[in-house]
Amino acid sequence: MNFDDQILKWVYSLHGYGIIFYVLLTAALSAVLSFAVAMERQLRGKSISIKTHVLLSVGCSLLMTISIWAIRIADGSIDIMSGPASISRELSYDTSRIAAAVVTGMGFLGAGAIIKDKFTVRGLSTAATLWISAAIGLACGSGFILESVALTALVILILIAVNAANKFMIRKSPCVTVSVTNDFPLIKTVNDIALENNLTVRDIDIISVEETMTTARIILPYHFSKTKTEYFKNQLRRIDGIIVENKKVRKTV
Q: SS3 helix, strand, coil % of the chain, rounded to 5?
A: 60, 15, 30
Residues 118 and 206: their CA atoms lie apart, in Å, by: 12
> What is the C-alpha radius of gyration for the chain, rounded to an integer number of angstroms?
26
Q: What pLDDT band is residue 229 in, cutting at 50, 70 and 90?
A: confident
Whether residue 253 lies inside any domain: the answer is: no
Instruction: Examine the domain organization and report whether 149 and 192 are in the same domain.
Output: no
- More reliable by pLDDT, 15 or 231: 231
Residues 193-224 pLDDT 10s: 888 888 888 888 888 888 888 898 888 888 88
Looking at the fold, whether 124 and 217 belong to one and the same domain comes out as no
Q: Which of 145, 169, 193 is the last residue of a domain?
A: 169
38 and 136 both lie in a single domain: yes
Q: Is the dihedral of CA 42, 48, 52, 58 positive or negative?
A: negative
Q: Is the pLDDT of residue 162 over 60?
A: yes
Residue of 216, 218, 241, 238 whose CA lies nearest to 229? 218
| Averaged pLDDT of the chain | 78
Question: Residue 252 falls within a domain, yes or no?
Answer: no
pLDDT bin (cut points 50, 70, 90) of residue 146 is confident
Distances (CA, A) of 180 to 43, 82, 229, 231, 232: 32, 76, 19, 19, 17
Encode 39-77 in three state secondary structure. HHHHHCCCCCCHHHHHHHHHHHHHHHHHHHHHHHHHHCC
Domain end call among 115, 135, 169: 169
145 and 50 fall within a common domain: yes
Q: Do 232 and 199 form a contact (C-beta atoms < 8 A)?
A: yes
- Domain end (from 144, 169, 194): 169
Same domain, 143 and 187: no
Same structural domain, 139 and 205: no
Helices in 173-202 by DSSP H: which ranges? 186-196
**Residue 132's CB: how many other CB atoms inside 10 A?**
22
Specify whether 23 is located in the same domain as 107: yes
Are 180 and 165 members of one domain?
no
The pLDDT value given to residue 31: 92
The answer to whether position 249 is within a domain reads no
Considering the domain boundaries, does residue 251 fall inside one? no
- Quickly state the pLDDT bin for 89 (edges 50, 70, 90): very low
- Domain extent for 82: 3-169
Domain count within the chain: 2
Which CATH number fits the domain that encloses residue 226? 3.30.70.260
3-state secondary structure of 93: coil
Residue 93 shares a structural domain with residue 160? yes
Q: Decide if 207 is inside a domain.
A: yes
Q: Quick check: is 14 in a domain?
A: yes
Residue 250 included in any domain? no
Q: What pLDDT, in 10s, does the model give residues 14-64? A: 666 677 777 888 899 999 999 988 888 777 766 667 888 898 899 888 888
